[in-house]
Structure 1
Amino acid sequence: MTTPRVKTTKAFYRTGSTTWFASRHDQRFSYGLHIPSVHETTDTPLPLMVIQHGTGRTASQYRDAMAEFSERHGCVVLTPMFPAGIDDPEDLHNFKFIEYRGIRYDEQLLGIVAEAGERFHIDTERFLLQGFSGGGQFAHRFLYLHPDRLSGVSIGAPGRVTLIDPDREWWLGTKGFEQRFGAPLRLEDIRKVPVHMVVGAEDTETWEINNPGDSNWMDGADAVGRTRVERITALRDNYTELGIDVTLDIVPGVGHQGMGVLDAVRRFAERVLPRVV
């Protein structure tokens, strides 16, 4: 019987599905990755897919669900972790709206991406960003700020959407965007990013997304629809009217289940990510 070669501890926990690393940018936040085996043999920087968790913080589950895809396509999967309860112990929603009590979550993510690029052989100039539910909220708002960093974006079932509309207050729309974030919304650059939207056809429960008085509510959030299906369709229509090319997948038989729409996400990722293996 042949004894398998034993890696060093450092090498073992930095290959395949890695351990979780504290972000050097801000150690309240962390990230895990799946590093495909081709990383050990290629000189080509590997493409990057970032999966942003939702309210349940199921980052490791998404990372593990995409591990086989990572190996088959030679792409690195990175999953940031933004814990609940930062500053306010009752808060669940901090990252979804980009800025929270002085924390810019877009900058936190970019810091993590840069750090991963220093640790591993990854092309971090542009990456595919995917998120479902709260992650879908983050993903489309990140697109508005950093289209130049994205090779594509997959927006999954956001409960609250931000239309590109200068007449609606943030976060219902983009009124005051430049004053809030210090940079204008660059529609021409957004039009260059492949956009995928996905939602389950049975994602029609409204108890979580129609909640006046909660910290993640604004009056008018339901003006574009009561369900996630209606709201993502309104977002698609808004983008289409502005000349943004969008593919919308409504997955039959699926409710509000991030794992249930991953096949549609994989098909989109296959289209926009270069294949190394």
Structure 2
Amino acid sequence: MQELASSGAALRARAIYDYGETAIMASTVDPRFHMMLYVPPAAAEGKKVDLLVAVHGTGRTSAFEFRDGFAEFGLYNDCAILCPIFPVNVRGDGARSGYKYMQEGDIRYDRLLLSMVEEMAGKYGQDWSKFAIFGYSGGGHFAHRFAILHPEKLWAASIGAPGSVTLLDPERDWWVGVRDVAERFGKPFDASALARVAVHMVVGDADLETWEIAHAPGSSYFMEGANDAGATRPERLRSLKASFEAAGVNVTFDEIPGVSHDRMKCIGHTKAFLTRTLKEMRT
């Protein structure tokens, strides 16, 4: 009887903490980093579901908003939502933006995310060898650079209002361009693989503040060409669109009238894009 009660408690705890809006979990590969998910009922029933990775901005609190904000989308589209949490000050130096550029000291954030996806795929018995990625603001930095480095891992990428962009420029080094990607990250840029990814970009046309995104000489990520893509987020995202399209990528572009830097007013466009993409992919 005690064993039955214990088994029942374990099942109840699993239902509460591992499905629906999950508890926050540490990465097994590197417990300094965390993640939380929305796991739809279909997965609890043993069905195969797809995966969307939603990446927070600089403040990190949008991880909670994205997990909950995409939950309804996940419920009705049989899609799990994984929200990584990359803390500020992870190396004890107060740095906020390392994850946006994929590498910070000995930390490779792209590899870290791939390990999280692999770990959760094993936990839930899913094939998430390909997934979708979304990010807004600082997460938009991460999402488009991850797509540049790992297009073979993605069925879709939605890029929201990044403060700075990496153009597919073979004459400039990372992070402004992609000339040294193979030497820096151990794999060359694959334009043909990126062209197979469904790509979406979204920004408000009133997202015009520049205080946080202008790179001044001597600042952490300043390099020649750092501001060449434009002064504002809409200008920089339009430059990214043009760069992707020149490489053969089909881009769906939403510039929302009257919206400033407001992630929750933009994610509806991402949901619509992903819903269409999933429908096409599944049929």
SS at match of 1:222: coil
One-letter code of the match for 1:102? D
Tell me the distance in 1 between the aligned counterparts of 2:227 and 2:141: 15
Give 1 or 2: higher helix fraction.
2
Instruction: Tell me by how many angstroms 1:34 deviates.
Output: 0.4
In the alignment, structure 1 segments of 5+ residues that lack a partner are: none
Question: What CA deviation, in whole Å up to 9, does each residue of 1:140-198 have, x standing for no partner?
Answer: 11111111110010011111100001111211111211111111111111111111000
Tell me the distance in 1 between the aligned counterparts of 2:221 and 2:14: 41
One-letter code of the match for 2:110? D
Tell me the distance in 2 between the aligned counterparts of 1:191 and 1:68: 29
SS at match of 1:264: helix
One-letter code of the match for 2:132? L
Tell me the distance in 1 between the aligned counterparts of 2:105 and 2:276: 37
Partner of 1:94: 98
Partner of 1:255: 260
Is the contact made by 1:152 and 1:193 (CA closer than 8 Å) also made in structure 2? yes
Deviates more, 1:86-95 or 1:224-233: 86-95
Is the contact made by 1:76 and 1:122 (CA closer than 8 Å) also made in structure 2? no
Tell me the distance in 2 between the aligned counterparts of 1:47 and 1:116: 12
Partner of 2:187: 183
Partner of 1:272: 277
Instruction: Tell me by how many angstroms 1:223 deviates.
Output: 1.3
Matched, 1:159 2:163: yes
Matched, 1:79 2:86: no
Partner of 1:44: 47
Matched, 1:133 2:167: no
Give the 3 Å change call, closer, same or farther, for CA 168–215 of structure 1 in structure 2: same
SS at match of 1:210: coil
Question: What CA deviation, in whole Å up to 9, does each residue of 1:51-108 have, x standing for no partner?
Answer: 0111111211110111111111111001000101011431000111011101110000
Partner of 1:196: 200
Partner of 2:113: 109
In the alignment, structure 2 segments of 5+ residues that lack a partner are: 1-7
One-letter code of the match for 2:40? P
Identity of aligned residues (%): 40
Tell me the distance in 1 between the aligned counterparts of 2:32 and 2:155: 28
* Alignment counterpart, residue 124 of structure 1, candidates 125, 128, 150: 128
Structure 1 segments of 4+ aligned residues over 4 angstroms from their partners: none
Tell me the distance in 2 between the aligned counterparts of 1:79 and 1:20: 10
Question: What CA deviation, in whole Å up to 9, does each residue of 1:20-76 have, x standing for no partner?
Answer: 1100010000100001122222x4311000001111112111101111111111110
TM-score, normalisation: structure 1: 0.93
Partner of 2:149: 145
Tell me the distance in 2 between the aligned counterparts of 1:217 and 1:79: 28
One-letter code of the match for 1:225? G
Partner of 1:223: 228
Note the aligned Cα RMSD (angstroms): 1.7
Is the contact made by 2:215 and 2:227 (CA closer than 8 Å) also made in structure 1? no
Partner of 2:21: 17
Tell me the distance in 2 between the aligned counterparts of 1:220 and 1:32: 36
Question: What CA deviation, in whole Å up to 9, does each residue of 1:115-158 have, x standing for no partner?
Answer: 11111143301100000111111111111111111001001111
One-letter code of the match for 1:77? I
1 or 2 for the larger relative contact order (CA 8 Å, sep ≥6)?
1
SS at match of 2:266: helix
Residue-pair matches, total:
271
Is the contact made by 1:48 and 1:123 (CA closer than 8 Å) also made in structure 2? no
Partner of 1:56: 59
Tell me the distance in 2 between the aligned counterparts of 1:196 and 1:49: 14
